[in-house]
Amino acid sequence: MTCPLNGPRNISEFTYGGELKQMPDPNTCSVAEWADYVFNSENRLGVVTEWWMHTASSYWFLAERHTGSDEILRTFDPSELFNQRIDFAVPEAAQ
Amino acid sequence: MNRLPAPMGLLIDRNKPLTFSFDGTTCQGFAGDTIASALAADSRWLLSRSFKYHRPRGPLTMAGQDANTLVQLPDEPNVLADEHQLQAGLNVTPQNVNGTLEKDRDAHLGKFSKFMPVGFYYRAFYKPKGMWKRWEPLIRKKAGLGVLNLTFEPTYHDKAYLFCDLAVIGSGPAGLSAALYAANAGAKVLLIEQNPLLGGSLTYARFSLNANAAMGLREELVGAVRDHANIHILDSAICNAWFADNYLPVIQGNRMYKVRAKQCIVASGSFDQPVIFRNNDLPGVMLTSAAQRLMRLYAVKPGQRAVVLTGNDDGYLAALDLHEQGVEVAAVVDMRERVDTAGLAAAVQAKGIPCHAGHTVYEAIARKNARHIASVDVRRITGQGKVADSSTRIDCDLLCMSAGYMPVYQLLCQAGGSLRYADEHAAFSIQNLPKILRIAGSVNGRHDLQRVLADGQRAAAEALADLGLESTRVEGADKDDSKVNFPWPIFAHPQGKEFVDFDEDLQIKDIVNATRHGYRDVQLVKRFSTVGMGPSQGRHSALPTARLVADATGRSVSDTGVTTARPPFSAEKLAHVAGRAFDPYRQTAMHRRHVELGAKLMPAGVWQRPAFYGKAEDREACMQAEAHHVREKVGLIDVSTLGGLDVRGPDAAELLERMYTFGFKKLPVGRTRYALMTAEDGVVIDDGVACRLGEQHFYVSATTSGVDRVYRSMLKWNAQWRLNVDIANVSAAFAAVNLAGPLSRQVLEKVCTDVDLSSEGFPYLGVREGSVAGVPVRLMRVGFVGELGYEIHVPARFGEHLWDALMDAGKAQDIRPFGVETQRLLRLEKGHVIISQDTDGMSHPTELDMGWAIGRKKPFFVGKRTIEILESQPLKRKLVGFTLPKGSAKPLEGHLVLKGPDISGNVTSCEYSETVGAIIGMAYAGADQATPGMQIPIRVEGGEIVQATVVKLPFYDPESQRQEL
Amino acid sequence: MSLSIHHHAERSPIYELHGNAALTLLGERLFVAGSQSDSEQLQCCALIDLSNLPRVGFRGTDSATYLQREGYQLPDAPNRAVVQASGESLLRLSQTEYFLLGSLHDGGARIASEEASWHYDEGQANYLLPRQDSHAWFALTGAYLPKLFAKVCGVDLRAEAFSVDAVVQTSVARVNAIVVNAGIADLPIFHLLCDRASAHYLWGALLDAMEEFDGKPAGIGSLLDSATSAAG
């Protein structure tokens, strides 16, 4: 796999971080939605976006991988998707 | 001796004779011989007995591609005699022999073959249930798998990477031409050859009427390759697999190379294929290429009077070779009606050799002693697999057979390539290869030498283009129309013994019968009949099996296909895989001191830590004494393995609020707070202490085994949150000790003068920065073991110095070190949980009574929503403290807690505590069993059930007065 | 009186593995001195413990500015190094992270003072990383370096793929490590920075891998000579 920071490396140099998932609003979503987010994975045949970390440099990045061919199509810095600060609202009940 | 004059014998050195023994008799060979070639030179053709019927067997391929040549060496069973280099004094014995090789008491087994049909073992010995257990030892003994030397001393094996632009696998004409072409264009080429000699088929095959043409071409190409600065040659090296991105394991000697090639060309050639007829396994019957190898490589005359049975033109060339080397060629039997190459038959006939077109050998007939071929029964072919009734007998002691070629497809199938059978060529070809992998030469269906050479260049040119190097289009590599495979070289005989698979003693009817049992898929045929499962892994049986199964099930050969080829390509030793294994361990800065003090070391993850100080057999006494010392005086423990994270920046407190369950924004500078971490599923995954060293600076500890995960998790979350904070894993950068016990302040005061150590100036849960014994430290007042205590963190370079200074300063207070097991007992007395010992993959904070550690008003922390959902549901189990009287059977970790007939939990920690005067422990129990005073039944070693009493935690100093002194 | 490690508070994680090797002082710090025959050994294959030589890291969006103000020349891309005029190596590990290796010429004094004088400034995103304590530092030298590393590391470190001043962050014998090509005119040198707690293990693993090249441990004397003559 090609690390965006360190270049092509053996897969053993990387740590898998799971599929990229969108967290539902933990304060407003239903219990079922939350359980689906926490416990279920898509496991789709096709191109998926996954978190990977280059272990030696502790660098997290994202990879697009085809689950059928196992081909890694693209790796990129997470700032491409996450470019601004994320904050959580105080739940209404606690205010 | 049976040797031919030079230039025959490329591999042998006639000036270096070697003596060795085989089956108890002394033999002679030359350096460069294999065991089998030296024996052949001595006219010893019988090498082994077959797997099932104990039939006599001799060399078949002379290329290490069959099981006939398996022999036993003193330290190694299952050695291929046609591949293993001869050494002086080698003691070789036959395998799978009951008695001697010449007189095998099990040779009669062949007569019972009709009672041992395909699937015999499965069908005969598996019923009734349990019978296999009785039969297996008997059958295994008969099966002859060689003998292991159990006192064998392992030798050093290792691994190394090799990097190149282009890996070329195989140094036959295609590989040599590809390597040269690519190297000339500037590519760094790695050329991998299985044999000690480069040249592939050029080392033994003839290719043209001119006897010396191939040899001359080989010398020219090999010379150029050897002299080329850009070509790195690995000979006697086998590429045993293809993994994604051209990651190639190549074994050479005691080393496994892990080759990383940008581009790869497989020029692995093709396997000469046998003809299937009765008694085709008799010694003296061999592949045509085997006879050629014997002559050219080892100068061994393969027989006195030969018959050549062929399905293509190459048989005629081999007949000329034999004739020129003084072998009388009794006949060329050509299964085809006519020869492709003009003048070839005439050239052979001109030597007085009769040619029988459209004929086959229907049966090989053995000598009286049944151990060698004596003659062949030759008949006209009248249809697919059918022959005329009239026959001609030809006497011979050598039958060379070749039905055509099968591409060496194994690595290519591992790379995802698929096989397609073209009826017009009666041959398989390989498609759908990855872009970085190409094939050239006969594996690519090219057999004419000029086309093979051009195909090598063509593949190299394509690889060069992908490497970004200059290349031009190569012409002349197209496939021609010539046909090298005879479509049906399979001749069933009413009396059978026409071997499809020599390794497994499988005959035509075995394959056909497997399909009649309903196993129509070739994969199932393999598993039922064991075809292709032997050491040669289908190198000779895959093609005839595909044809037979296709025919018997009315499908095309393409549809039938061959079984999956998986790594490794050839047998590899576990030593190569295990190799020089890397097994990292970590040591703290004080490690030497622990060893000097006689610590009993224990592994803690990858760390080596003192369990206690003393002999292993004194565990209990040492632990109790060390614990007593901490409770009464002062002890010192190395806690350097604790994880440590520096979290700095404007959002440092915000990050901790999100990562840990507690609140940290209001924690004052100079104070610490317990930090509990849950995962998104609400399960407790780590804990530690967060120390506020500044408004924007926290130093957070984490468990020894959990810190890497905690660090990764923080980085991953913040890759999304983008908080303005720096997270640094400083675990290894700090050495640390816990100085604990009522006298600890007295000890510390001697070596720490710049911090107010009074209980007011530095209270429980405080953190200070200062110096101890002249080196900078972070000091924390902690209560893990429940006494007045200081955790002292120091830059690792000073770790040993700090230990020495404290041990020295504590002499007057009788300081003594204590180990991890003692610390576990002390914290158990205080009821503190150890994450991953007292928690499992289900433990959430409520089960641990840790609701107090949760900041409920925070907008978010990882796991918050799940914990809220869990708390709204009834609690199923709870972690409780329990006691048992001294002298009771002591539960061990993992022992079960019962509720009626059901399991309600398990013990997580348990020790005898001298301080408490009882056996104390923690266990999960049903929520309705968790009230102090209740009895919980625990099933201990041997099935005994003890009734433990649930008590309120902690067991010791419930008001926590001692640690707050 | 001969030098003894026990009179020095700072200790290499593997000092006991040096056995009875003669020691020498460089500034205030102790190193294995080495012998006359070392210079030949260095050309062939040698392993030198530099763990007592100062080093420090900085990370943050303001680190580049900070280091430039301190007078350092910075690499313009991650995984590159720049050797400073005064002999220090400055490695860039990511967009915002730097690793400074002290020079043998001053016994690392400049870097040691860099570490001592840094104070956390809440207005600046420039965080010190305690690299001298988190990492051990070995120098490996000689003609066999690429072959040696091929036995312990999966990254291509042949000259054509790993030039002078290139940096890789990778795994060496299954330990996370940073490798820098610090070769000078007539001597190939790689610096290896690895987890300090794993140093004892890695030293042994490296010596085992070096055996086939006649590799041996050496002292700093010859390395210092080579560095001095290369600088001169």
Confirm or reject contact between B733 and chain C (CB < 8 A).
yes
Q: What is the pLDDT of residues B157-169, one digit of tens each?
A: 999 999 999 999 9
Q: What count of CB pairs under 8 Å joins B to C?
A: 114
- Mean pLDDT score, B505-520: 94
On whether the A2-85 domain is CATH 3.40.50.12280, my answer is no
In this prediction, residue B126 has a pLDDT band, given cuts at 50, 70 and 90, of low
pLDDT at B122 > cutoff 70: no
pLDDT at B309 > cutoff 50: yes
* pLDDT at residue number B544: 96
Q: Do A70 and B716 touch (CB under 8 A)?
A: no
Q: Do B729 and A58 touch (CB under 8 A)?
A: yes
CATH of C55-132, one of 2.30.30, 2.60.120, 3.30.70, 3.40.50: 3.30.70
Confirm or reject contact between A19 and chain B (CB < 8 A).
no
In this prediction, residue A43 has a pLDDT band, given cuts at 50, 70 and 90, of confident
Chains touching B by CB (3 or more pairs below 8 Å): A, C
B201: amino acid identity, one letter: S
Distance CA B338, CA B345 (A): 9
Confirm or reject contact between A41 and chain B (CB < 8 A).
no
Q: How near does any CA of chain A get to the CA of C169, in Å?
A: 6
Query: Cα separations (Å) of A26 from B210, B658, B664?
Result: 83, 13, 21
Dihedral angle sign, alpha carbons of residues C49, C51, C52, C58: positive
* pLDDT at residue number C1: 47
Q: What is the pLDDT of residues B730-771, one digit of tens each?
A: 999 999 999 999 999 999 999 999 999 999 999 999 999 999
Distance CA B962, CA B77 (A): 68
| Cross-chain CB nearest to B719 (options A70, A78, A87) | A78
pLDDT at B114 > cutoff 90: no
Q: What is the pLDDT of residues B40-83, one digit of tens each?
A: 999 999 999 988 888 999 999 999 999 999 999 998 999 999 99
- B420 - beta bridge partners? B429
- Cα–Cα nearest to B80, from B503, B409, B527, B399: B503
Question: B649: which chain C residues are within 8 Å (Cβ-Cβ)?
Answer: 125, 127
* Domains of chain B, first to last: 1-153 (3.10.20.440), 158-271+407-467 (3.50.50.60), 275-402 (3.50.50.60), 498-567 (1.10.10.1100), 591-639+733-826 (3.30.1360.120), 643-729 (3.30.70.1400), 875-965 (2.40.30.110)
Cis peptide before C188 (omega within 30 of 0): no
* pLDDT at residue number C89: 98
- Cα–Cα nearest to B713, from B659, B638, B766: B659
Q: What is the pLDDT of residues B704-716, one digit of tens each?
A: 999 999 999 999 9
Burial of B380 (0-12, 13-18, 19+ CB in 10 A): middle
Nearest CA in chain B to A71: B244
pLDDT at A90 > cutoff 50: yes
Distance CA B467, CA B461 (A): 10
Question: B869: which chain A residues are within 8 Å (Cβ-Cβ)?
Answer: 31, 34-35
Residue B781 · residue B770 · CB < 8 Å? no
- Cα–Cα nearest to B279, from B372, B202, B393: B372
The single residue listed with the structure tokens 């304590």 is: C133
Distance CA B739, CA B787 (A): 10
User: Would you call B539 helix, strand, or coil by DSSP?
Assistant: coil
Which of B157, B161, B252 to substitute to test the interface with C, most C CBs within 10 Å? B161
Query: Cα separations (Å) of B800 from B807, B826, C8, C50?
Result: 11, 25, 10, 18
Q: How near does any CA of chain C get to the CA of A9, in Å?
A: 7
Asked if the interface predicted TM-score (ipTM) of this complex is over 0.85, the answer is: yes
What do you get for the CA distance between the two ends of chain C, in Å? 33
CA C51 to chain centre: 7
Residue B734 · residue B633 · CB < 8 Å? no
In this prediction, residue B480 has a pLDDT band, given cuts at 50, 70 and 90, of confident
Distance CA B644, CA B728 (A): 9
Distance CA B835, CA B837 (A): 5
* pLDDT at residue number B521: 92
Confirm or reject contact between A54 and chain C (CB < 8 A).
yes
Confirm or reject contact between B162 and chain C (CB < 8 A).
yes
Residue C135 · residue C194 · CB < 8 Å? yes
In this prediction, residue B120 has a pLDDT band, given cuts at 50, 70 and 90, of low
- Cα–Cα nearest to B399, from B306, B333, B479, B491: B306
* pLDDT at residue number C229: 81
| Cross-chain CB nearest to C154 (options A5, A10, A55) | A10
Long-range contacts of B412-421 (CB under 8 A, 24+ apart): B412/B242, B412/B266, B412/B437, B412/B439, B412/B443, B413/B564, B413/B565, B414/B241, B414/B242, B414/B243, B414/B565, B414/B566, B414/B567, B415/B242, B419/B558, B419/B561, B419/B562, B420/B558, B421/B546, B421/B556, B421/B557, B421/B558, B421/B561
Q: What is the pLDDT of residues B719-729, one digit of tens each?
A: 999 999 999 99
Question: C168: which chain A residues are within 8 Å (Cβ-Cβ)?
Answer: 6
Q: Which residues contact B902 (CB under 8 A, 6 or more apart)?
A: none
User: Would you call B290 helix, strand, or coil by DSSP?
Assistant: helix
B846: amino acid identity, one letter: T
- Mean pLDDT score, B628-649: 97
Confirm or reject contact between A50 and chain C (CB < 8 A).
no
Q: Do B163 and C134 touch (CB under 8 A)?
A: no
Q: Do C169 and A57 touch (CB under 8 A)?
A: yes
Question: For B144-280, where are the alpha helices, taking DSSP H only?
Answer: 173-184, 213-227
* pLDDT at residue number C232: 59
Which of B248, B262, B716 to substitute to test the interface with A, most A CBs within 10 Å? B716
pLDDT at A94 > cutoff 70: no
- Cα–Cα nearest to B802, from B734, B742, B744: B734
Q: Which residues contact A12 (CB under 8 A, 6 or more apart)?
A: C154, C171
Q: Which residues contact B19 (CB under 8 A, 6 or more apart)?
A: B26, B27, B28, B88, B89
In this prediction, residue B1 has a pLDDT band, given cuts at 50, 70 and 90, of confident
- Cα–Cα nearest to B899, from B874, B878, B881: B878
Residue B275 in tokens:
């003809």
The DSSP code sequence of B670-702 is TBEEEEEEE-TTS-EEEEEEEEEEETTEEEEEE
Domain boundaries, chain C: 5-52+135-231, 55-132
- B884 - beta bridge partners? B919
pLDDT at A91 > cutoff 70: no
Residue C93 DSSP code: -
Distance CA B522, CA B550 (A): 9
| Cross-chain CB nearest to B715 (options A38, A60, A91) | A60
Domain boundaries, chain A: 2-85
Question: C11: which chain B residues are within 8 Å (Cβ-Cβ)?
Answer: 589, 797-801
Strand bridging mode B896-899 / B684-694: unpaired
Q: What is the pLDDT of residues B827-861, one digit of tens each?
A: 999 999 999 999 999 999 999 999 999 999 999 99
- Cα–Cα nearest to C9, from B483, B589, B62, B171: B589
Distance CA B560, CA B546 (A): 6
pLDDT at B185 > cutoff 50: yes
pLDDT at B886 > cutoff 50: yes
Distance CA C126, CA C121 (A): 8
- Mean pLDDT score, B508-513: 95
* Mean pLDDT, rounded, of chain C: 95
* Mean pLDDT, rounded, of chain B: 94
Residue B890 DSSP code: P
* pLDDT at residue number A95: 44
CATH architecture of C5-52+135-231: 2-Layer Sandwich (3.30)
Confirm or reject contact between A11 and chain C (CB < 8 A).
no
Q: Do A38 and B869 touch (CB under 8 A)?
A: no
- Mean pLDDT score, C164-188: 96
Half-sphere exposure of B313 (CA within 13 A, CB side): 17
Q: How near does any CA of chain C get to the CA of A19, in Å?
A: 24
Residue B498 · residue B276 · CB < 8 Å? yes
Q: What count of CB pairs under 8 Å joins A to C?
A: 30
Distance CA B607, CA B73 (A): 42
Give the dihedral of Cα atoms B323, B324, B325, B328; nearest 10 deg: 20
Distance CA A14, CA B117 (A): 52
Between B783 and B583, whose confidence is greater? B583
Confirm or reject contact between B726 and chain A (CB < 8 A).
no
Which of B860, B867, B870, B873 to substitute to test the interface with A, most A CBs within 10 Å? B860
In this prediction, residue C5 has a pLDDT band, given cuts at 50, 70 and 90, of confident
The DSSP code sequence of B607-641 is EEEEEEES-GGGHHHHHHHHHHHHHHS-EEEE-TT
